Chains A and B, each alone.
Chain A
Amino acid sequence: MLARRAGAGPVVYLDARGWLCPPAAWEAGIAPERLIVVRCSDPVHWARVAATLLEGIPGLYAEVPRGVKDAQLRKLAALARSRRVPVVLRPVRGELPSGLAHLRLEAREVRWDGTDAGHGRLQQRRLIFEASGKAMRGMAQTIEVEDHGADAVRLVPRLAVTPARRVVG
């Protein structure tokens, strides 16, 4: 997601678990010198670190550890909006508070191709996820994406659109 931003400067992965494997990011098109990993699992420090990074970094992918308060996340979202810095937040456990994200992507299904019963290797991934939030203007959409592990993902043409849920008052 941040591969394009890596062209404009360093992108930072705020790693709450210490599990990030950089080769996957390199394969996605982020140059090694442009990827910076900040390890922070402490929820108190995490909010400070994320806010500090937003002051100078063109793109941030942040795992949200358990224990970070909703108010802190909202402050962070406001800061990101004011600085016009794209931030991808991914909670390690649970969900983000509602109304926080401009675009919310929720994986519905993931299919891997290339493997069979003991032969082949993982080659291509198809992701089906639901996109919602302000960016979708109230129209939740189901989107299918092909990912070859290279620096480009492709939207599958047969885009499935689900109707927006209506509320009966």
Chain B
Amino acid sequence: MSDSPCQAVGDDNRVIALNSLAADAGIQIGMRRREAEAVCPVVFTVVADPGADAARFEPVVTAIEDLIPRVEVVAPGLALAPVTGAVRYFGSEETLVARAAKEVDARTGPGYRLGLAAGPFAARRAADLATAEDPIYVVTDDTAFLGSLDIATLGKEELAATFRWLGITTLGELSRLPREAIVSRFGPDGLAAHRLAHGDDRPAYPRQIPPNLAVEDRFVPPLESLEQAAFEARGLANRLMTELDEHGVAPHRVEIEAEADDGSIRVRTWRSSDPFTEEAVAERVRWQLRAWLDHSRFRSGPGIRGGLVRLRIAPADVSGEGRQLALHEDARSAAEADRALTQTQAIVGMDGVLQAIPQGGRDPIERVAWYRWGDEVPQPERDPAAPWPGQTPSPSPALVPPEPVPLEVEWEAGMPVRVRLGSRWEPVLSWAGPWRRVGRWWQGEGPGDRYQIVTSAGAFLCEVNNDRTFLTGVYD
């Protein structure tokens, strides 16, 4: 096929891959199949089969895995492997990469490319720069390498076009701009781009997951057909995602572990830049099982001898990178929400669309750290878990005026009796407090006493300061 134009189309009938002859004939990635065939009637078309791709890619992954444990398969054809430990074992990066290349070459022949750099994004770009003649590209200066990359490597055409229009053509130029300014102008996409330009494309604060979230099934008698195993995998994926949903997390990686009847265990990790959905997990498990089975059938690999007796799926890397999606939430609705909020920002201004995180403090208003939607989540200035003596107890008032509002309260023998609400006086039914707040005396603030006052019209949080009463919250 190397001497004729070829293309591969995906499920949506769009071109997802093509050879150089097809490209020369005018076919482009993303083009509809019919359009492509109109442009080049002699093009040979194959329909993408990710399962088959995974099976063909399996020897490559196995070859790398023999040298470096815990390989992450991003997609059939692309795998990532953290090398820090392996470099220490082999002595140097060059030795390790040379060994990896030798292993892959021995099992699959030429055509592979290896990139080594700090972080998955840079490593992927390094592999892109490798050639068939020189299939290894080791980055020695990561900052300089990232800085030299074209802005188009971000993979977002519109964003890259806007950056170009602004005179920013490389990631180095982008990384030198202040992150706040980029986030203000471009929102979450800009933040992600700036992170990549800096080389920190991994989530900065991965969330801890409880260790017992893995799901597992045992099969007696062993499952011998792929369809049976895929059906069981679907149920297992459903269980996994239901449990994760209860914890409010979604995995970016899943580890698939299969045990054969002869006792051999095979493990593979799949990774996705978007959180996995139930369908995606089930699909990856099916691909992986098929890959192992085909590998054993055609290449006399270990396979799953005697059938599958145990299948285990373990979630990993459940960081809430970017917009945290729920499991039943699709990427499209997240994009719609982002678009709606971005348009809202355009109407009310950047400071009009806000989010908040908890922080420590005594008053309800002090316990909130606001930040603009789309900005990076800030670190709280005060520890919310620390003890805050004099803190007003929960529940919190639903409404808090930005500045305390003077309130007329009638007191008798130190007890509130009546409250003036608009034009009428409401009798106080019950009250609690005071909770004393010692102000910043060095800044001239005096102490204040806070009370919860209940009337038939509702409950209020008040503060008495210098014999004057102020409304500081409404329990709505």
Interface residues on B, range: 35 or more
Question: What is the total number of residues of chain A having a CB less than 8 Å from a CB of chain B?
Answer: 50
- Bitwise, B333-370 to A at CB < 8 A (1) or not (0) is 11011111101100110011111111000001101100
- Bitwise, A103-115 to B at CB < 8 A (1) or not (0) is 0000001101011
Partner of A37, one of B355, B399, B401, B432: B355
A117 to chain B, nearest CB (A): 7
Q: Is A149 among interface residues, defined by CB-CB distance under 8 A? A: yes
Instruction: State which of A19-27, A72-80, A136-144, A153-161 sits at the interface with chain B.
Output: A19-27
A115 CA to B396 CA in the complex, in Å?
A: 15
Asked if A122 contacts B348 (CB within 8 A), the reply is no
Partner of B347, one of A7, A33, A52: A52
Residues of B within 8 A of A48 (CB): 347
A21 CA to B431 CA in the complex, in Å?
A: 21
A127 CA to B78 CA in the complex, in Å?
A: 58
Instruction: State which of B127-135, B255-263, B288-296, B323-331 sits at the interface with chain A.
Output: B323-331
> Quick one: given A9-B337, A35-B356, A39-B348, are A110 and B393 in contact (CB under 8 Å)?
no
Asked if A45 contacts B348 (CB within 8 A), the reply is yes
Asked if B355 contacts A112 (CB within 8 A), the reply is no
A25 CA to B329 CA in the complex, in Å?
A: 21
Q: Tell me whether chain A's interface is mostly helix, strand or loop, or mixed.
A: mixed
A44 to chain B, nearest CB (A): 10
- B248 to A, closest residue via Cβ: A31
Asked if B432 contacts A53 (CB within 8 A), the reply is no
Partner of A36, one of B355, B395, B458: B355
Asked if B368 contacts A57 (CB within 8 A), the reply is no
Interface residues of B in 188-213 (CB under 8 A from A): none
A57 to chain B, nearest CB (A): 6
A36 CA to B188 CA in the complex, in Å?
A: 15
Q: Is B57 among interface residues, defined by CB-CB distance under 8 A? A: no
Q: Is B272 among interface residues, defined by CB-CB distance under 8 A? A: no
A122 CA to B80 CA in the complex, in Å?
A: 55
Partner of B396, one of A9, A12, A27: A27
Partner of A122, one of B365, B373, B459: B459
Asked if A118 contacts B431 (CB within 8 A), the reply is yes
- A56 to B, closest residue via Cβ: B340
Asked if B394 contacts A19 (CB within 8 A), the reply is no
Asked if A112 contacts B365 (CB within 8 A), the reply is no
Asked if A36 contacts B364 (CB within 8 A), the reply is no
Interface core residue of B326, B340, B415 (most chain A CB under 10 Å): B340
Q: Is B400 among interface residues, defined by CB-CB distance under 8 A? A: yes
Asked if B432 contacts A38 (CB within 8 A), the reply is no
A21 CA to B354 CA in the complex, in Å?
A: 12
Asked if B368 contacts A22 (CB within 8 A), the reply is yes
> Quick one: given A9-B337, A33-B320, are A38 and B348 in contact (CB under 8 Å)?
yes
A25 CA to B475 CA in the complex, in Å?
A: 12
Interface core residue of A20, A25, A52 (most chain B CB under 10 Å): A52
Partner of A23, one of B338, B364, B373: B364
Q: Is A95 among interface residues, defined by CB-CB distance under 8 A? A: no
Residues of A within 8 A of B458 (CB): 110
Interface residues of A in 110-150 (CB under 8 A from B): 110, 112, 114-122, 125, 149
List 15 A-B residue pairs with CB atoms under 8 Å apart, sorted by A's residue number: A8-B333, A9-B325, A9-B326, A9-B334, A22-B356, A23-B368, A36-B373, A38-B348, A39-B353, A56-B333, A57-B341, A109-B456, A115-B430, A120-B430, A122-B459
Given A34-B324, A35-B355, A54-B340, 13 additional A-B pairs, CB 8 A: A8-B333, A12-B341, A21-B364, A22-B356, A22-B368, A24-B397, A32-B356, A53-B344, A56-B341, A110-B457, A115-B452, A118-B433, A120-B430
Chain A interface residues toward B at CB < 8 A: 7-10, 12, 17-27, 31-40, 45, 48-49, 52-58, 109-110, 112, 114-122, 125, 149
